[in-house]
Amino acid sequence: MVRDRSRAVTRPPGARETSGQATRKLTLSLTQRNSLLGYLLVAPVLVCLSLLVVYPFLFAIWISFTDRTVGAEGRFIGLGNYAYLLWQPSFQATIWNTVVLVGVVQTLKLAAGLGVAVLLNQPIRGRRFWRGLVLLPWAMPAFVAFITWKLLYAPQGGAFNLVLLGLGLVDSHVDFLSTKALAMPSVIVATFWRGFPFWVISFLAALQSVPRELYEAAAIDGAGAWQRFHHVTLPSIRHVVLVVLLLSTIWTTNGFENVWLLTQGGPSDATMTFPVLAYLGLQSLRIGEAAAVSVSMLPIFAMLALFVAKLLQEE
């Protein structure tokens, strides 16, 4: 639509030259006017982000070095909060849980994302329908998805217990979310379900932009299906895979809804993650300590964010 209209506009002959001369005469002042206008137009967003992102970001780091509580400014205690946290079992559990949760979920998403994208990239009927279907969990609000999974796992009224009992696979109700060994796998499955469509859709778009000739040439050279995937498909979608992996890792590490709505970090910290621990710290009014919890994610976040920002701006 955009393209059609641009073609419809015809340039009156000679107009270009006149404007060129006019611009040259006024070059300096026009450039200045343009840059002034540029600053003015970008100012509202810039002010808003300085106040709501940059300042809070730096403020968080400062707070994490104080023993601030609600109602008391607190004083500078250096690395006191961090030293205290390192000896806390809940903080140690949080580090380990995050590694497990993010590691397993991202591996599953990568495998399923590639697999389903390849599946949907075949000559199947109604591809648009299947694409729309896969997108459903992602289009759904995260809080709705995780409340629904809480119901699926529920001992009373939950679908999984209904099926397991009905098939005679278990003798009594399984309490997925309150059993220490089952809580983390349950959170992982739900997090995977909600997140994998983003990978599928991104990979599918990338696959569809790989030129057919490359495959044909590879086939003529006698490459098998696996070799074609390895030597043609993977190199062509490498960039997209990397961007998706980084973006999704930032989102997954900082996800709050999944753990909060399913387990609130329990049972006994078995599913505790940084955002939930920081939120609980804020609820217990120990602001300095809570800030230290969220700031301890900062080094990893900064690394991922700078890397993905570089990749996105190259595009």
Rounded least distance, CB 36 to another protein, Å: 8
Residues sharing a CB contact under 8 Å with residue 279, sequence separation 6 or more, in sequence order? 256, 260, 290
In terms of CB distance, is 152 or 184 closer to another protein? 152
Rounded least distance, CB 175 to another protein, Å: 13
In terms of CB distance, is 93 or 195 closer to another protein? 195
Rounded least distance, CB 107 to another protein, Å: 17
For 69, list phi and psi in degrees, rounded to 5. -130, 175
In terms of CB distance, is 269 or 296 closer to another protein? 296
The C-alpha angle 240, 137, 264, rounded to 5 degrees, equals: 105
Nearest alpha carbon to residue 103 among 268, 252, 305, 259? 252
Rounded least distance, CB 92 to another protein, Å: 19
Give the total residue count for the chain. Answer: 315
In terms of CB distance, is 104 or 140 closer to another protein? 140
Amino acid identity at 86: L
With 0-12 CB in 10 A as exposed, 13-18 as middle and 19+ as buried, what is 25? exposed
Task: List own/partner pairs for 63-71 with CB under 8 A and 24 or more apart.
Answer: 63/287, 63/288, 63/291, 64/288, 64/291, 64/292, 64/294, 64/295, 65/288, 66/288, 67/288, 67/289, 68/287, 68/288, 68/291, 69/285, 69/286, 69/287, 69/288, 70/285, 70/287, 71/285
In terms of CB distance, is 93 or 276 closer to another protein? 276
The Cα–Cα gap between 57 and 67 comes to 18
Pair of tokens at residue 222: 């006698």
Rounded least distance, CB 294 to another protein, Å: 5
Rounded least distance, CB 289 to another protein, Å: 10
Rounded least distance, CB 26 to another protein, Å: 12
In terms of CB distance, is 184 or 294 closer to another protein? 294
Q: How far is CA 262 from CA 196, 206, 218, 267, in A?
A: 19, 34, 48, 11
In terms of CB distance, is 257 or 269 closer to another protein? 257
